[in-house]
Amino acid sequence: MRRAEELVDRIVNSSQIPSGRRKEIQRELLSHIDDFVSAALEAGHDEMEIEKLLLANFGDPDQIGKGFAWVYRHERRGLRAVVFALSTILLASALLAAVLAIQTGLALGFRTPVMEVLTSRHTVTEALDILASVAAYLCLPLLESLFKSHQFQKGAFLLTAIDGALIALCAAVGLHTSFLFFGLIDGLLLRAVQLFITSRAARFGLGVVSFPVAGAILAVLRSPVSEVALAATCASWLAMGIGYQLMIHLASRVDAALLNGLQRGS
């Protein structure tokens, strides 16, 4: 019955069931409908009567869909957590690779040993900064989805609380924590620019320019540096700024591709 198939499709589409489970749920629902139709036919009802009885007795499809959504809520959250972790690793790795490639070029240009640059403490700190920034940026939309109003503000507050707890935990066991603070500020800035600046050119320009400026300020504050070192630092931070802007455009695509792939495989 066509109406029965439409009813099942409506239930499944409103249920937010992970796609790997949808065919199974569709088969179960259609099996129940077939049993109902067989019983109605044996009772002497014609097709039009059965259709009306089916719609009357089966219940509101949207409410049934909400029931399935509740049942599979933990599975959806688990899937989102896996996608978040994979997206963070992929995007952070790609961004770090691009930055290290530029730094390698700069090292060759300034006749500095490449391995000395790549194995320096600065590079380790840079990798942690990038990882924390990507994680904060990707986490914000997930936290925002928990709220119906003032989503960015509430999501930012919740992320700050989580980050603060992580900083306190790391500090308690004697671990380095500045990358967590940097990642939080960076993630909030990237998300705010994305949400509140409408012009794409302005978003890109602000995101790119702010990084080399911040890098230059930090380099000068930490210790006196030569003009060459300052130029190299600004170039490195400029690469990060460009990389983060590209990440913003790629993030949703990577997230969707991973989600679809994991759902099909489940």
The chain-wide mean pLDDT, for the chain, equals 77
Is residue 155 within 8 Å of 147, Cβ to Cβ? yes
Higher pLDDT, 218 or 198: 198
Of the candidates 102, 171, 156, 93, the residue with the CA atom closest to the CA atom of residue 127? 93
DSSP tally for the chain: helices H, then strands E: 11, 0
Domain boundaries, the chain: 2-71, 73-265
Q: Per residue in 63-90, pLDDT tens?
A: 777 776 666 666 767 777 777 888 888 8
In the chain, the largest separation of any two C-alpha atoms, in whole Å, equals 94
Q: Per residue in 21-48, pLDDT tens?
A: 667 777 777 777 777 777 777 777 777 7
Is residue 240 within 8 Å of 130, Cβ to Cβ? yes
Residue 160 predicted with pLDDT over 90: yes
Residue 208 CA to residue 203 CA, distance in Å, equals 8
Q: Per residue in 77-128, pLDDT tens?
A: 777 777 788 888 888 888 888 777 777 776 677 676 767 666 677 678 778 8
Residue-level pLDDT at 207: 72
> Which two structure tokens, joined as six digits, stand for 159?
């992320």
For the whole model, what pTM was predicted? 0.68
> Mean per-residue pLDDT for 140-163?
92
Q: Per residue in 142-152, pLDDT tens?
A: 899 889 899 99
Residue-level pLDDT at 93: 86
What phi, psi does 184 have (nearest 5°)? -60, -50
Residue 131 predicted with pLDDT over 80: yes
Residue-level pLDDT at 162: 94
Residue 15 predicted with pLDDT over 70: no
> Mean per-residue pLDDT for 175-185?
87
Residue 10 CA to residue 4 CA, distance in Å, equals 10
Is residue 160 within 8 Å of 184, Cβ to Cβ? yes
Is residue 186 within 8 Å of 240, Cβ to Cβ? no
* Beta-strand runs (E) in the chain: none
First to last CA, the chain: 29
Of the candidates 81, 171, 174, the residue with the CA atom closest to the CA atom of residue 135? 81
Residue-level pLDDT at 250: 77
> Mean per-residue pLDDT for 158-175?
93
Of the candidates 106, 95, 96, the residue with the CA atom closest to the CA atom of residue 235? 106
